Amino acid sequence: MIKNIEFTKMHSLGNDYIVINEYNGIKVEEEYKEEFSKKICKRGFSIGADGVIYVQRPENKKYDIKFRIFNSDGSEAEMCGNGIRCFSKYVYERILKKNPLNVETVGGLRISEMEIENNNVKTVKVYMGIPKFQLKDIPMVIEGKSKEDVFLNECIPLNCSLIDEIKLSVVNVGNPHAIIFIEDNPIDINFVRDNLDILGREIENHKAFPERINVHFVEVITPNEIKIITWERGAGYTTACGTGTTSSAIIAHKLGKTKDKILAHLDGGDLEVEIKKDEIYLKGDATIVYDGVLRDIGW
């Protein structure tokens, strides 16, 4: 029975998380983390969230801290841009007064640089690593392509009555993303919003993506401004996705649609992305909502 666990509820642009501090000892044993995360994230029956973040000691001395995140369906994600900003704020204000912060993630090293005011973290700028485009890194399997190929603004067939095929691009920034530009497909924003459950689920679980994929519908407003609607792998519709915003900006830039600095509008608010050669930086805020104690998970 898992009871009396202290937690902190946080969010970034409405993407909300339950943060559990395991820096000084494991609170949820490894074999229970998947089921625990599913139950604690269920809205109306528990705390409710898009995911659970565990703060742990790093396994390698080159890191300061370890970040782990589980989606609301219990699956562990490699990385999360909004989640790591919440994580970084929590770590600086509650555990380690270190800035910048070298963070160990399943997706590799991430570096958080924080803007501090009166010992409070106001914004977090995260080095998001080097993007990967080869199909073996997504992973993606599609006829006529080898694992070393890339997939940029090409069509995949869909098995739904709404649309026969959709043009998309794929990239991995620690976790995999499919980027769909509105202007390159016979759809508009209203169509996406009305049919997101169908389209998002269909593409997330498409046979081309054996490990599933995050899905983002992007509208280019100007060379420095985009709008994104997100369907997150393992969570469904979310108000914002940091790695998805990063991926959208990378692909838009690679296709010549945008410049080096991009302001992204998401349903939960705005994020800034800066591209410096192969280095990508994501900047935004994070909020601590409340602290609490989980009395009973229901087991």
Catalytic residues: 80, 241
Is the CB of residue 143 less than 8 Å from the CB of residue 135? no
One-letter amino acid of 251 = I
End-to-end CA distance of the chain: 6
Is the CB of residue 188 less than 8 Å from the CB of residue 156? no
161: Cα within 13 Å, side-chain hemisphere? 0
One-letter amino acid of 147 = K
Q: How far apart are CA 187 and CA 10, in angstroms?
A: 34
Block residue for tokens 């509008």: 265
Is the CB of residue 116 less than 8 Å from the CB of residue 234? no
E-assigned strand segments in the chain: 5-12, 15-21, 51-56, 65-71, 76-77, 101-105, 108-117, 120-127, 154-157, 165-172, 176-181, 214-222, 225-232, 236-238, 261-266, 269-276, 279-284, 287-294
Block residue for tokens 């990385």: 79
| CA atoms 204, 152, 170, 197: torsion sign | negative
